[in-house]
């Protein structure tokens, strides 16, 4: 009985430790950018909890062909800490809004050496368990046409051809039906005229003996 009372008191006082829930982090999958341009790398998260004042965002970078990652940005306690020694020195800017669960960064003056994988991790205490999300950056002199654009163009052309074929089909049907109707009306009128002449009989011929000289 005493044990039950003790547990009830704990629950009523709300001193049971809060359970940690999973947090889902989202970034893009792959980004293309022009040499010398700037690019925004987005990072957001979903959590069942309200946005904590202790929310944190961390970005790391792993160059293509490398197994090691380096830290390039960290946000915690309302302060943004940017790498000031590595390859992104003076080129990373925090453009997110932690209150809206946005931990996006801006990378300026892109170079070919920036090609690689950028990984974002977020914590929204007490929700701190989640898998970081990664986005791959590819820098080009001219941005290539993505496969999705080509696929969309092909689908558009095919749909356009199908619509054109359907229009031509119904137009031909209309013209044929109109021609058949015209021929039917013409034949019906001709038969009607022939029937009328048959009922009237041949015109009487004049008697030559009654012709006055």
User: For the chain, what percent of residues have pLDDT higher than 70?
Assistant: 73
pLDDT single digits (tens) 191-207: 666 666 666 655 555 55
| pLDDT, average across residues 163-181 | 84
Residues 160 and 135 in one domain: no
| pLDDT, average across residues 135-162 | 78
Q: Is residue 19 predicted with pLDDT exceeding 80?
A: no
pTM of the model: 0.60
Which residues constitute the domain of residue 42?
A: 20-140
Letter string b/e over residues 25-56, b meaning 16 or more CB atoms within 10 A of that residue's CB = bebeeebebeeeeebebbbbbebeeeeeeebb
- The per-residue pLDDT of the chain, averaged, comes to 82
Within 8-109, strands assigned E span: 24-27, 30-34, 39-41, 43-46, 56-63, 70-76, 79-82, 92-94, 105-107
pLDDT of residue 197: 61
pLDDT of residue 171: 84
Residues 84 and 165 in one domain: no
Residues 108 and 79 in one domain: yes
Dist CA 173 CA 71 (whole Å): 69
Q: Is residue 7 predicted with pLDDT exceeding 70?
A: no
Q: How big is the chain, counted in residues?
A: 213
195 located within any domain: no
Domain count, the chain: 2
Q: Is residue 174 predicted with pLDDT exceeding 50?
A: yes
pLDDT single digits (tens) 96-140: 999 999 999 999 999 999 999 999 999 999 999 999 999 999 999
Q: What's the CATH code of the domain at 72?
A: 2.60.40.10
Nearest CA among 35, 39, 61, 58 for reference residue 106 = 39
Q: Is residue 160 predicted with pLDDT exceeding 80?
A: yes
CB 143 within 8 A of CB 149: no
Residues 75 and 150 in one domain: no
Given 114, 140, 166, the domain boundary residue is 140
pLDDT of residue 213: 45
pLDDT single digits (tens) 52-98: 999 999 999 999 999 999 999 999 999 999 988 889 999 999 999 99
């Amino acid at each position: 009985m005493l044990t039950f009372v003790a547990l009830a008191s704990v629950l009523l006082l709300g001193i049971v430790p809060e359970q940690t829930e999973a947090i889902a982090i989202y970034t893009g999958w792959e980004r293309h950018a022009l040499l010398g341009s700037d690019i925004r790398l987005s990072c957001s998260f979903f959590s069942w909890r309200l946005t904590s004042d202790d929310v944190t965002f961390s970005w790391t970078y792993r160059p293509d062909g490398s197994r090691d990652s380096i830290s390039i940005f960290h946000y915690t306690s309302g302060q943004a800490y940017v790498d000031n020694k590595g390859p992104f020195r003076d080129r990373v800017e925090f453009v997110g809004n932690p209150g809206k669960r946005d931990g996006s960064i801006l990378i300026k003056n892109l170079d070919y050496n920036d090609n690689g994988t950028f990984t974002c991790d977020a914590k929204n205490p007490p929700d701190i368990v989640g898998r970081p999300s990664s986005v791959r950056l590819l820098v080009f002199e001219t941005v290539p046409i993505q496969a999705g654009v080509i696929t969309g163009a092909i689908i558009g052309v095919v749909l356009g051809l199908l619509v054109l074929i359907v229009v031509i089909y119904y137009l031909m049907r209309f013209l044929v039906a109109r021609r058949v109707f015209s021929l039917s009306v013409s034949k019906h009128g001709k038969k009607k005229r022939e029937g009328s002449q048959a009922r009237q009989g041949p015109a009487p011929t004049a008697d030559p003996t009654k012709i006055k000289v």
